[in-house]
Amino acid sequence: MLLTKFSSHEFEAGTDEAGRGCLAGPVTAAAVILPFDFQHSLLNDSKKLSEKTRELLRPIIEETAISFQVTHLEPLIIDKINILNASIKAMQESIIQLTPTPNYIIVDGNRFKPVNDIPYSCIVKGDSKYLSIAAASVLAKTYRDDYMNKIHEEYPMYNWKKNKGYPTEEHREAIKKYGTTKYHRMSFRLLPEQLTLEL
């Protein structure tokens, strides 16, 4: 069973991101403050849940959370500051918008940068240990999926509705055939081999 709190602080926020390893689309982060007595038997790391379960949990999290925020950071920013910094920035921006301001932050992973001097802890695999991080992982994933479904309508040939921008063989074949879009991360290795002209 996942734990409710890491610290003894009243307003502890959990934060996580989705889409870090994608070739296209934003990196999306969420931050969530849950009530102290929150429990849900289905809630876990979003990667371990089916799409149906994530969609079921999202309104429950949104309705019962003391506060939650979601932030998308576009490929242009990812290319400018790199994916690690963009992931941290998206989490920071989500945290800053929470009301009340959290007095402790727990972060999924092992890297973070301070936000307004709020104490924090990085927890490896935190999304499968603490409810607030798991809740943030579900919101980040579902909001990002919605975003990818929307831009799929604009560029259906990449099938983002299915691959969500991840580096599947189908996605890479489409990049090879149709080139890149404004949603692709140009600092990423979009094709497995750099195509060279035969001299």
Residue 178 belongs to some domain of the structure: no
Residue 165 belongs to some domain of the structure: no
Q: Which residues pair with 67 in a beta bridge?
A: 33
| pLDDT band with cut points at 50, 70 and 90 for residue 1 | confident
Residue 36 belongs to some domain of the structure: yes
pLDDT of residue 70: 98
| pLDDT band with cut points at 50, 70 and 90 for residue 182 | very high
pLDDT for 194 beyond 70:
no
Quote the CA–CA distance of 4 and 171 in Å, as a whole number.
39
Q: What is the CATH number of the domain that holds 67?
A: 3.30.420.10
Tell me: the pLDDT tens digits for 108-160? 999 999 999 999 999 999 999 999 999 999 999 999 999 999 999 999 999 99
pLDDT of residue 198: 46
Give the E-state strand segments of the chain in sequence order.
12-18, 27-33, 67-73, 104-108, 120-123
pLDDT for 196 beyond 60:
no
Residue 191 belongs to some domain of the structure: no
Tell me which H or E stretch contains 156.
Answer: none
pLDDT for 179 beyond 60:
yes
Residue 29 belongs to some domain of the structure: yes
Residue 137 belongs to some domain of the structure: yes
Name the packing angle between helices 51-64 and 131-154 (round to 10°): 120
Residue 187 belongs to some domain of the structure: no
- Work out the percent of the chain whose per-residue pLDDT is above 70: 96
User: In the chain, how many domains are there?
Assistant: 1
pLDDT of residue 71: 98
- Work out the percent of the chain whose per-residue pLDDT is above 90: 92
Residue 179 belongs to some domain of the structure: no
Print the domain residue range for 36. Answer: 12-147
The model's pTM: 0.94
